Structure 1
Amino acid sequence: MIKIVKADAKADIEELMSIRLEMLRIVNGMSDTECFDETLVSCSREYFLNGNQTTVLAKDEGRVIGCASISYITVMPTYDHPTGKRAHLMNVYTNIAYRRQGIAGKMIRLLIDEAKKLGCTEISLDATKEGKPLYENLGFTANDAGMIMELKVRWLI
């Protein structure tokens, strides 16, 4: 029986990191022997422990088989977004053996409800080609109104 649970960062940190790194290996076409950059690992751990976020885990008899996270930000309130509270959905992943069973949808719905409770007026996300139909079925729509500038940060470690 698959259970979707809200993660407790301190208690679940090793499971959170394990499923996060599993997801990153899959989406980036990495082998099991390739190592991750230490900055990525330490910043991911810090995000789970201290970030303004909610993460849910999908578990099958105690084994983590999926995850999804939502980060919260507050910007200056606007007419359309009077609270200024917004959210960004990310890190949505289900182990390949468990896909097409509605698990990702259940995780996302839980996070949408959480964002609503916190007063968020918008949820953004970056969809992969494979994930786009899922998000559309949940009510997300394509938006090309924004612009972005990527800032390259050089880490000194």
Structure 2
Amino acid sequence: MALIYRKLTEKDLVTFIEMRINQLREEGAKEDIDLRPALKDYYTRHMSDGTFLSWLAVDNDKIIGTSGMSIVEKPPYFGCPSGRIGLLSSMFTDKNYRRQGIAKELLSRVVNEAKECGCGTVQITASDMGVLLYTDFGFTKNNNFMQYKL
């Protein structure tokens, strides 16, 4: 295995988007629209302005693991005086490569980059499969998270 870690580039977007869709399917999302155009638009815009960060795991030119971090800004608060928050997404590893520390390495790289960008906290809505990865890394659950769907 010739595994390397590198940053996402625009030439990777087609594969990255397919892996994101596979992740959503695996998590049980109902696929009632084609998300590809919206995802391409989002990643292109936010990669260019620096508000989307991503590291990839690549084995012999094949992307086998992804990570993503959207940088958002809220009014500062005591738990995050900078107001800059990293919203973690797109954490996905090909089934044939799981349980080898790849997701942990990707998580470490994207969290470190968020810290360098001035984020005071990182948040994620974790899948059941991902909870152990995040708690082992040091994430804590926040039972106050609520969502209102528009």
- Identify the TM-score tier after normalising by the shorter chain: 0.7 to 0.9
The equivalent residue for 2:115 is 116
- The CA distance in 2 between the partners of 1:148 and 1:103, in whole Å, is 30
| Identity percentage of aligned residues | 28
- Contact 2:68-2:110 at 8 Å conserved across structures: yes
- The CA distance in 2 between the partners of 1:141 and 1:48, in whole Å, is 28
Mark the CA change 1:98 to 1:148 in structure 2 (over 3 Å): closer, same or farther: same
Amino acid in structure 2 at the alignment position of 1:45? K
Question: Which protein shows a greater Rg?
Answer: 1
State the secondary structure of the residue aligned to 2:54.
strand
- The CA distance in 1 between the partners of 2:80 and 2:125, in whole Å, is 20
1:42 to 25, 31, 37: 37
- The CA distance in 2 between the partners of 1:65 and 1:36, in whole Å, is 26
Q: TM-score, normalised by structure 2?
A: 0.88
Structure 1's unaligned 5+ residue stretches are 152-157
How do 1:12-31 residues align onto structure 2 when only pairs under 5 Å count? 12-28=12-28
- The CA distance in 1 between the partners of 2:67 and 2:59, in whole Å, is 15
Deviations 1:23-56 (A, max 9, x none): 23333388xxxx8723x11111112111221112
How do 1:6-155 residues align onto structure 2 when only pairs under 5 Å count? 6-8=7-9, 10-28=10-28, 37-38=33-34, 40-51=35-46, 52-151=51-150
Structure 2's unaligned 5+ residue stretches are none
Deviation at 1:125, TM superposition (A): 0.4
Amino acid in structure 1 at the alignment position of 2:20? R
Q: TM-score, normalised by structure 1?
A: 0.84
- The CA distance in 2 between the partners of 1:36 and 1:48, in whole Å, is 21
Aligned length: 145
